[in-house]
Amino acid sequence: MEKRVSIVVFTTPTCGWCRKVKSYLKQNNLIYKEVDVSTDAYAMRVMVNKSGQMGVPQLWINNEVVVGFDKAKIDKLTK
């Protein structure tokens, strides 16, 4: 049985690492919801409150926070 994975990616349009992480998710056939925190102040506050970090990309994988493009942690949480 395939594991159900919920992924939210917090990004900004100018973030190179955000583009890399989204590309990585696509390569691995992982569906995600993207939230642009440069245009959504509420989402930015929620993201910072949960993670304590302002930097992007941030991923919430099954509600677990991954800050940055941490391939090992992404793989661990999605496999």
Structural domain boundaries of the chain? 7-78
Helix (H, G, I), strand (E, B) or coil at 5: coil
Question: Which pLDDT band holds residue 3 (cuts at 50, 70, 90)?
Answer: low
Region 6-11: mean pLDDT is 98
Please state which CATH number belongs to domain 7-78. 3.40.30.10
Residue with tokens 């583009």: 19
Amino acid identity of 44? M
Spatial separation of the C-alpha atoms in residues 78 and 36, rounded to whole Å: 22
pLDDT of residue 1: 47
Percentage of the chain with pLDDT > 70?
A: 96
* Residues of the chain above pLDDT 90, percent: 94
The structure's pTM equals 0.92
